Structure 1
Amino acid sequence: MDVASVLCMNPPGDGKRSYANNSLLQRITISKSKPFLVETTKNMIRSMKRSSSSVNGGWPACFRVADLGCSSGPNTLQVISEIINTIDDDIICNQQKDDRDHHDPEIQVFLNDLPTNDFNSVLKEVPAFYNQRDKNKLRCFVSAVAGSFYGRLFPKESLDFVHSSTSLHWLSKVPDYINEENKGKIYIAHSSPPNVYKAYKEQFEKDFSNFLRLRCEEMKAGGCMLLILVGRRIPHPSASKYFSPFWDLLATSLMDLVAKGLVKEDDINSFNMPCYTPYKEEVREIIEKEGSFNLDKLETLEVNWDLREAIEIGEENFVLNENQSGQIISDYIRAIAESILVHHFGEAIIDSLFKTYSEHITEYLHFHNPKHVNILLSMTKK
């Protein structure tokens, strides 16, 4: 599977199945991580102000920020807006009028995702974003950059700030030589052979190290990077019967379709998800080993599977309903994984698969209170 050409969040044209309508989890994560983002941005501002090599009291005339894995939908410009608001408050509002340069700093924003992303929908939202920014002093210019973040995207030493949220769990490829060893499963499971976990872990280390090396080339010295990675609570698959319930239950659902004659078992045995949810200490070790960045801060953030935190962040249309939680989660997974599943299994089984999947999740939630785990980290280029 060529992940870069297959992976695509469901576009707005898919209506209720679209990523835009099923990205509340990511929105909650962004909202709950806002203090981390604001603190990181303020620390960066203080550091740049102390720099004697920069103009305008340490602040560049054009500040360049990239959001990698931006996707499309209501979340796309949310983080960028928070970054700009923080910079605007610290750089502009706190300056005395007599101290200001005749030309206030400008911000150039690059929204990146795979070429399969729905950039048309993203760019249609930019004029409204500009209108909202009119109340701020900082001028902002937004453009799209299509390409994998496992390759070079920007000129050398051109970026001041890099952000990526809930994207780096996607691998550049499915690890080699695991299909025959992972029969009946589509990801690391409690009962998977040790070699499966080892292969996934090594592929993530290779991809994440490559990501760090490439960003180091593209960022200015002292530049800041903030990442939110989908992670896991436990250090090893053997520590829990349910290492990755999302994919365990999807594999069970696929096997149910085998029993109904809708899917061939060999097709399941030859399929594995191109993703990896790291443990926080794995991430720390890779950063330290790769050596391009200083790790400034690392935290974890958890969100309930039933997304009850939506009420806390003011999502007016959200209703907490235990009977609907299975369907909400099923729709979320469908929005992010349907393109990959269709590529391998065909489109005909998708409705039946996710109906069964929803039922399995609903049953699972009766006995468990699982949480989505996110790893938040901020780094500075050495």
Structure 2
Amino acid sequence: MSQKQGISAMIAISLIPLVMVLGNSMLVPVLPTMKAKLHLSQFQVSLIITMFSLAAGIIIPVVGYLSDRFGRKLVIVPSLIVYGIGGIISGLAAWLMDNSYSVILLGRIIQGLGAAGTSPIAMALIGDLYSGAQESKALGINESSNGFGKILSPIIGSSIALITWFAVFFTFPVLCFLLALFVWFGVKEKKKAQGKPLPEYLTALKKIFKQKGKWLIPAFFVGSTGLFILFGILFYLSDVLEAIFKVDGILKGSILAIPLMGMVVTSYITGAKIKQNKPLIRKVMISGLVLLTASMFAVAFFKQIHLMIGLITIGSIGTGLLLPCLNTLITGAVEKAERGMITSLYGSVRFLGVAFGPPLFSWLMKISHKTVFFSMAGLCILTLILAFFMIKPGKTKKGAAGEKERLTTLFKKRVPTN
């Protein structure tokens, strides 16, 4: 791959998680207006977000298999098109129908099905196209792009809603169709052998989890927990800013962006620095969890807005240290033939973590501020224990080969030849 092709591919791939995250985050500021216009209950409004995430979480393992069987681009591009079609269905229903809620919900489910084939498969594609330090850097950019999407989405959604509240639905197809073209023509996928038939494939996956499940399953849980806490805390902070401190609008969005920015910048730097150094990856991962645990415990004792934002930002930096490490370990855990399924399973678990964060935090908030953060500190301690004692991946075949090559080169340098 030439340098120009590599840059084009990296830009295209990094835009995939950004567009994916718009699916929920861009609608959040529009939900109160939607509730009033369509005369919905709070539960009905919540389904606009929940059904998208659940549809994606359920279907992700299927598209992961398809990407391993037939290729990444052949899954990503149609998925982006389906994602856009779902937006058109929801937008037209809101615009032209009187009782449009059920059709809007159907469009959101279709969007979720499309979203399933975007970011998780992009992670597997990175593993196919890049190796070593380039792979870690690309995964860090991928995670940062996801974070930038979270930062920009509420601002973009609020701006588009100034036209009309349902205009946001028509934004999805424009972005998705353009990105589908960019990925199709801008990413040159490496030629690969056709994937295994399903029975063989499932047997191979069973073997992977038998060999590596001892650390892969805890890694999935830790990654999901990191996003569960991140989105739950943002949900909590959003409510507190408006209900207690009377902060809303652009100022509120800017404050919420502070911890997210901490995560995004840290993710990018971490991805660029960790490379394939597994001892370093482990240290960085543990450090991130220690920061997250300490911040959750400390926030429990303070309700002053400046202290809360500062401490929560420290926790988000911990998440930014954690996620690129997990991404690198998980994408490098298996051979390319099964990588799509493994990263898709991980993506599915991440989606579910995001989906359950806000409702569970809502329940804890009814008890007390301390209950919220002591509960999260306890969960962080559990994940820290799991990470410390369970996530100890050995060398992958690729890593072992690289180490052998490094030692051979070192030996040749030290032993003179005739």
Relative contact order, higher structure (CA 8 A, sep 6+): 2
| TM-score, reference length from structure 2 | 0.24
Whose helix proportion is higher, 1 or 2? Answer: 2
| TM-score, reference length from structure 1 | 0.26
Whose strand proportion is higher, 1 or 2? Answer: 1
